[in-house]
């Protein structure tokens, strides 16, 4: 059991995901007692056990599903007759609770200008793990843009090679122009990022989208982008714009509607 607890601690340190599977009910003859645990990683590897055999295989499959959709689930099994689909012949019944364990969501600010710095500050305060990327090294460091957890002074187009972008990653692109976006977006659009927002006016995005199409980027990938990003607040200052952007990020993360609460 200590191995499981140590592994849970390591998840946070290493920014990893896993599903914790716990036997919550056991009646009659079953392979493992209540409280038995197994930790399943996204690659299918696991530590601990909830009983072995077909029962364990089924729980591992459910754990991978939980990591994919982010939804906890309770599994019930009767272990009496494999001929009717039971995962064993022990004779008892077992219940297993499977819960996904994710690290804090990662918000990547690409472009460390005035707005980017304001987004870094606000995102960190909101509990995100924050990454800053800018091809200008003088902007991409703790002295110039304080508060981030990691810094990647690379071109936008090379960022996906430098860091792991997952379904828990939010990309906030506060770059300095359409040309930078056209050069850098194609590789990011192929990533698993749950949110890709690009700063700028509708006209700027129209120009960028057209250039991406001419570059051969598929329309379904281009449609993943939210631009202009943010919630309409008539924001002007970098700090106000950061609030607008993070409001949209939170809406996507938590499944909000963006409507006024009174409505």
Specify whether the CB–CB gap between 25 and 94 falls below 8 A: yes
pLDDT band per the 50, 70, 90 thresholds, residue 81? very low
> Would you kindly state where each structural domain of the chain is located, as residue ranges?
2-101, 106-254
Domain 106-254 has CATH 3.40.1710.10: no
For the chain, give the percent of residues with pLDDT over 70: 94
More confident residue, 56 or 182: 182
pLDDT band per the 50, 70, 90 thresholds, residue 79? low
The separation between CA 131 and the C-alpha centre of its own chain, rounded to angstroms, equals 13
> What digits encode the pLDDT tens for the residues 125-154?
999 999 999 999 999 999 999 999 999 999
Q: HSE-up of 25 (CA within 13 Å, CB side)? A: 11
pLDDT band per the 50, 70, 90 thresholds, residue 14? confident
What is the predicted pLDDT for the residue at 181? 94
More confident residue, 131 or 88: 131
* Dihedral angle of Cα 240, 244, 249, 250, to the nearest 10 degrees: 90
| Mean pLDDT across the chain | 91
pLDDT band per the 50, 70, 90 thresholds, residue 47? very high
Residue 169: phi and psi, rounded to 5, are -110, 135
pLDDT band per the 50, 70, 90 thresholds, residue 29? low
Specify whether the CB–CB gap between 236 and 230 falls below 8 A: no
């Amino acid at each position: 059991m200590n191995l499981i607890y140590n592994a849970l601690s390591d998840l946070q340190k290493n920014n990893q995901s896993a599903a914790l599977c716990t036997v919550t009910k056991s009646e009659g003859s079953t392979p493992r007692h209540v409280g038995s645990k197994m930790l399943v990683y996204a690659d299918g590897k696991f530590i601990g056990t909830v009983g072995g055999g077909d029962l364990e295989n089924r729980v591992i499959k459910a754990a991978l599903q939980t990591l994919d959709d982010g939804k906890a689930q309770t599994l019930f099994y009767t272990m009496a007759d494999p001929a009717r689909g039971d995962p064993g012949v022990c004779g008892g019944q077992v219940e297993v609770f499977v819960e996904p364990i994710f690290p804090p969501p990662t918000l990547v600010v690409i472009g460390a200008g005035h707005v980017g710095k304001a987004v870094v500050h606000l995102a960190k305060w909101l509990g995100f793990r924050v990454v800053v990327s800018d091809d200008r090294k003088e902007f991409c460091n703790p002295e110039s843009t304080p508060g981030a957890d990691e810094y990647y002074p690379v071109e936008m187009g090379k960022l996906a090679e430098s860091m792991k972008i997952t379904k828990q990653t939010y990309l906030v692109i506060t770059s300095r122009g359409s040309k930078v976006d056209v050069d850098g977006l194609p590789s990011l659009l192929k990533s698993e990022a749950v949110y890709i927002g690009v700063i700028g006016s509708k006209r700027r995005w129209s120009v960028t989208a057209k250039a991406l199409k001419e570059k051969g980027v598929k329309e379904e990938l281009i449609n993943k982008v939210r631009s202009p990003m943010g919630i309409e607040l008539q924001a002007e200052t970098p700090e106000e714009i950061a609030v607008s952007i993070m409001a949209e990020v939170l809406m996507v993360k938590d499944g909000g509607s963006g409507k006024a609460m009174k409505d």
